[in-house]
């Protein structure tokens, strides 16, 4: 039974080609998309910090809508997500994550671009920290943020996954032209 203070976290292992990552939601929406090929401990440790005392329940059926949209994205068939989210953060983190969602599919922005977008041009490092705290990889597209010179920089899912996601978006765009 779900209580207000300790919502049940439902989870599933999403498998797509060589990618395996855990996803989790509450009854209200998606709260976590894990890193590529990381063990279950990535999710359980995150849940202990963010949802202390909440039970973790495997439920592929409850996670199916999220898994379907993420899979469609990975197949190059989806550019935006319509599933509900249920993440929380500081006002600053939420501003950064909302700015990430405004980066068009197949394009990138720098950390300083995001800082300017949220009217905090001097907060570039804080923007990087907020991006690193993004709990829902892929769906809130922090992979679209690169260094000022265009170089690939840190990504919780690993630079290999970041490269894969950016390449996937570029290929999907070029095949639609």
Summarize pLDDT for 122-131 with one digit per residue, the tens.
Answer: 999 999 999 9
Residue 85 belongs to some domain of the structure: no
Percent of the chain with pLDDT over 70: 96
Q: Are residues 16 and 59 in the same domain?
A: yes
pLDDT, residue 1, reads 43
Residues 66 and 96 in one domain: no
Residue with tokens 């994550």: 97
**Looking at the structure, do residues 107 and 136 belong to the same domain, yes or no?**
yes
Residue 51 maps to a domain: yes
Number of independent structural domains in the chain: 2
What's the mean pLDDT in 31-50? 92
Do both 165 and 96 map to the same domain? yes
Mean pLDDT of the chain: 91
What residues make up the domain containing 138?
Answer: 91-175
CATH value at residue 101? 1.10.10.10
Across 129-149, average pLDDT: 93
Do 95 and 128 belong together in one domain? yes
Rounded-to-integer distance, Cα 111 and Cα 92, Å? 14
Residues 55 and 95 in one domain: no
Q: Confirm whether 86 is domain-assigned.
A: no
Q: pLDDT tens digits for 7-34?
A: 999 999 999 998 899 999 999 999 999 9
Residues 126 and 158 in one domain: yes
Half-sphere exposure of 156 toward its Cβ, with a 13 Å CA cutoff?
22
The predicted pLDDT at position 4 comes to 53
What pLDDT score was predicted for residue 3? 46
User: Does 70 share its domain with 123?
Assistant: no
Say yes or no to pLDDT of 153 above 90.
no
CA 170, 92, 84, 64 dihedral sign is positive
Give a yes or no: residue 2 inside a domain: no
- Which residue numbers are catalytic? 142
In which band, very low, low, confident or very high, does the pLDDT at 86 lie, cut at 50, 70 and 90?
very high
Whole-number pLDDT of residue 176: 63
């Amino acid at each position: 039974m779900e209580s207000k203070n300790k919502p049940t976290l439902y989870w599933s292992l999403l498998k797509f080609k060589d990618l395996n990552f855990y996803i989790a939601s509450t009854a209200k929406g998606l709260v976590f998309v894990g890193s590529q090929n990381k063990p279950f401990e990535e999710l359980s440790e995150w849940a202990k910090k963010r949802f202390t005392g909440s039970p973790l329940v495997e439920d592929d059926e409850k996670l199916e809508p999220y898994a379907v949209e993420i899979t469609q994205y990975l197949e190059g068939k989806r550019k935006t997500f319509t599933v509900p989210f249920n993440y929380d953060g500081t006002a600053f983190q939420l501003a950064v994550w909302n700015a990430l969602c405004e980066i068009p599919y197949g394009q990138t922005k720098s950390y300083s671009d995001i800082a300017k977008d949220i009217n905090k041009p001097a907060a570039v490092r804080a923007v990087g920290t907020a991006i690193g705290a993004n709990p829902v990889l892929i769906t809130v597209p922090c992979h679209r943020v690169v260094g000022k010179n265009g170089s690939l920089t840190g990504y919780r899912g690993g630079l290999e996954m970041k490269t894969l996601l950016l390449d996937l978006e570029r290929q999907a765009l070029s095949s639609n032209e």
